[in-house]
Amino acid sequence: MRVFGVDPGLTRCGLGVVEGGLGKPLRMIAVGVVRTPTSDQPAMRLLALQIEIDEWMARYEPDAVAVERVFAKANIKGIMGTAQASAVPMLAAARRGLPLAMHTPTEVKAAVTGSGRADKAQVTAMVTRILRLDTPPKPADAADALALAICQLWRGAAQNRLQEAVTAELAQQAKARQTKEVARPARRQTSESGSR
């Protein structure tokens, strides 16, 4: 499976593509950062981001997209830019009919480092180790995008397996109920015909 991770931001947007699966070694396919000038209008910055994300989607053909979920910070202006930027990969995934996962920074840190309180340096170090990279991805936005993809590959695969097990169990229960319901009327008819 190939996951496109996006660490959204208007000034710097981290992009990373990772391939692999649960119990399989992961490998980095691509990593980068889209930068937009703060002097440009927000609409032009979002357009530049959309063009780049569309190019990455066409080039790397991911199976799923993972985006960092926006969380509250003290900097309202920063939150707005991040929220606007996060809509771009979400729409790109929807246009292509790709599954979209939203992960909080704490979920990503926990998946990659084992601790939801890990700092950026620890996340970067673990991403470098997990993907067996010669040098750490820089800046931190690039490492965060790869961490999002890793998180989705690991957590998403585990969640999919759990969902498949739940679905199979529900299907078995439904089949058992259906078998009981089909068997009941037959018994009633037999007892009614026997009483006559």
- CA 64-68-13 angle, to 5 degrees, is 95
By DSSP bridging, strand 64-68 and strand 2-7 are: parallel
Q: Hey, what's the torsion of the CAs at 130, 105, 154, 20, to 10 degrees?
A: -50
Q: Is 134 a residue of the active site?
A: no
Q: Which of 7, 19, 52, 144 is catalytic?
A: 7
Q: Is 141 a residue of the active site?
A: yes
Q: DSSP states of 139-175 as a string?
A: SHHHHHHHHHHHHIIIIIHHHHHHHHHHHHHHHHHHH
Q: Which of 19, 68, 107, 144 is catalytic?
A: 68
Backbone torsions φ then ψ of 102, nearest 5 degrees: -115, 125
Enumerate residues 6+ apart whose C-beta is below 8 A from 106. 116, 117
DSSP state of 102: E
Count Cβ atoms within 10 A of the Cβ of residue 92 and give its class: 0-12 exposed, 13-18 middle, 19 or more buried: buried
Cis peptide before 37 (omega within 30 of 0): no
Residue 31 pairs in a beta bridge with 16
Q: Is 68 a residue of the active site?
A: yes
Q: Which of 19, 52, 107, 141 is catalytic?
A: 141
Q: Which residues are catalytic?
A: 7, 68, 141
